[in-house]
Structure 1
Amino acid sequence: MDQDLDALNKKAVATAREYTTELAWPTMALVLLVWISLIGDFYLFATGQLSLPTATLIYAVVTYMSYTPLHEAVHGNIHGAHHRQQWLNDLCGYLVAPLMMVPFSTHKVEHFTHHRFTNQPDKDPDYVVNGMSGGFLAFLACGFRFLWVQNTFLFRDYWPTAPRRVKAAYIAEVLFAIGWRAALIALIEREHTWVLLVFGYLAGGYFVAYWFAYRPHVPYQESTRYRNTNSLIMPGWIKPLEWFWLGQNLHSVHHLFPRVPFYRYHALHRRIEPIMRAHGTPMIGAFNRRNVDAARRPE
């Protein structure tokens, strides 16, 4: 049986490799869309053409969407096998990091630790979100701890040995992320600009914490490959949310094959789903968390 699973895994690896070489133009387009949306949102709010609630909602959406290209850049998925274009990968990472307030220069330290020790309470830095369903106060506390860890994890062991250029980049990113927000508060001549910036960011950040970090790993009981992350199957009637989610409901694909771009998750999942099921990957409803049989999967 182990030999059969090993053979299936090799087949999945070979299939996934087909998706890891391309230059990720859709991700670069997403970076452009995020910035155009952000600038448009702030301009329309500043000129009184958008209400505070609408502008805040748009900013929350942009904040959430900014994390996917940051996440892709951390894994080197934007330049793929085109190593001479790594500067495009890094440029995209640095462009969106100030929106998510997670420094690109050091995020790899925290995120790769999460991949190495997924769901292990004493080692996985993202484990801090495991209690988000414990009530409103727990939701707030866990979400805040998650956002805090993204910025401070490197201080545990990495900071003393980090090169000066990395330290300088980290400090510059933090100052820039705070600075442009302070400048907007000073420049936009409308009341409650700070509400837009604070609550829009928090709404987007908490969406990342809950749907990107927490839900794909519930119930946090497995740390083995193929079983440490769920495939969250969306009902057919709510496809628009799946598109907005940017494929992260199939976060299992990412943990199995981190070099596959996010917009290829669904294609790869369709091809290797029988292999994933053979290895015991949880395939559950996104909202009811019930097991979903292959025959009942919505197209």
Structure 2
Amino acid sequence: MFTLLTISLFILNIALFANGLITAWLATPLLSVFTYMSYTTLHEAVHGNIHGNKSNFRWLNSLCGYLVAPIIAVPYASHKHEHFTHHRFTNIDGKDPDFLISGMSKGLAGALLTTLKFFYTQNSFFAKNNWGRAFVQERLIYCGELSFSLGWRVLVIVLVDQPGIAAVLLVGYFFGGFFTAYWFAYRPHFPYDNTARYQNTSSLIMPIWMRPFEWLWLGQNLHSIHHLFPRVPFYRYHALHKEIEPILRAQGTPIVGIWTRKPVN
């Protein structure tokens, strides 16, 4: 349902703008939100959390991954290789492909440039690291996903006769990608100086007034739960975190304020 909702809202948003029913000032931030939401499905599909233990629904897991991949512009089939490498070598410079996200600490310009580097890495990792030993089918799927991800955007920009359509698609995508890179990857792993299993990611505790933002974040402020238990779906992070919090604290998991990064009791 979450996948269907995300895709439907994404398409509806573009259709409303294309027909002049909403302005670019509304369509652009909405597209950013739906772009971020699409990565949640992609991420869950990569970990097999959509079908869970029901192997007969593995096809549905893959289908969801392939459907949202063109929105976030990260190939589903090849993202598995990059993301599992990140889990295997979390915060290890030179081995963790997501370590480059630490460059977001270098001011606004560094954060914007790092976002571009991050998505370049997501799209090129398979070609650089897995192409030589990949089957022909894997290579074709990878190339097909890249082509479709770029192609649908070009077609919409060319075919839709609405001023600002390129800005909505490209600016909306960039800021959705920036949000994903910053809040999904950078903040939970900051300061990138610990590789211990219970300490290489954080639980970022948010004040009550920020709960609406926490819902939008889709639980990733408790990213420590994901790295410890990657087969637990995102909508169960909070319940599991509450259940095992004493263990997390005993193991030294950073449970800190979202802004201050000071320990939260």
1:22 maps to what in 2? none
CA drift at 1:153:
1.1
Task: Please say if 1:49 is aligned against 2:31.
Answer: no
Residues in 2 aligned to 1:277 and 1:258: alpha-carbon distance in whole angstroms: 19
Q: CA deviation at 1:155?
A: 2.4
Q: 1:98 aligns with which of 66, 70, 93?
A: 70
Query: Aligned partners of 2:46 and 2:225: how far apart in 1?
Result: 16
Deviations 1:117-167 (A, max 9, x none): 000011000000102122111111211111111111122321111111111
User: Who is 2:12 aligned against?
Assistant: 40
Which of 20, 33, 51 aligns to 1:79? It is: 51
Separation of aligned partners in 2, 1:187 and 1:157: 36
**Equivalent position of 1:254 in the other structure:** 226
Q: Any runs of at least 4 consecutive aligned residues in structure 1 with deviations exceeding 3 A, and if so which?
A: none
Of 181, 196, 200, the residue aligned with 1:209 is: 181
Q: State the 1:79 CA deviation.
A: 0.4
Q: Does 1:131 align with 2:103?
A: yes
Give the counterpart of 1:176 among 130, 138, 148. Answer: 148
Identity among equivalent pairs (%):
53
Aligned counterparts of 2:120 and 2:258: Cα–Cα separation in 1:
27
Cα deviation, residue 87, structure 1: 0.3
Tell me which of 204, 208, 212 is aligned to 1:232: 204
For the residue of structure 1 that corresponds to 2:3, the secondary structure is helix
Structure 2 residues not aligned, in runs of 5+? none
What's the CA shift for 1:39? 1.5
What secondary structure sits across from 1:284 in the alignment? strand
SS of structure 2 residue aligned to 1:232: strand
Unaligned runs of 5+ in 1: 1-28, 294-299
- Partner of 2:27, secondary structure, is helix
Please give the secondary structure, in 1, of the residue aligned with 2:105: coil
Correspondence 1:269 to 2:241: yes
Q: Tell me by how many angstroms 1:172 deviates.
A: 0.7
Give the corresponding residue for 2:61: 89
| More displaced stretch, 43-52 vs 153-162 | 153-162
Larger Rg, first or second structure (1 or 2): 1
Counterparts of 2:228 and 2:128 in 1: how far apart (Å)?
Answer: 27
Q: Deviations over 1:64-95 (max 9, x none)?
A: 00000100000000000000110010000000
Task: State the shift of 1:216 in Å.
Answer: 0.3
- The TM-score normalised by the length of structure 1 is 0.87
Work out the CA distance in 2 between the residues paired with 1:157 and 1:249.
30
Distance in 1 (alpha carbons) for counterparts of 2:259 and 2:3:
29
RMSD: 0.8
Q: How many residues align?
A: 265
TM-score (norm 2): 0.99
Q: Distance in 1 between matches of 2:112 and 2:15?
A: 30
Pair 1:116-2:109 in alignment: no
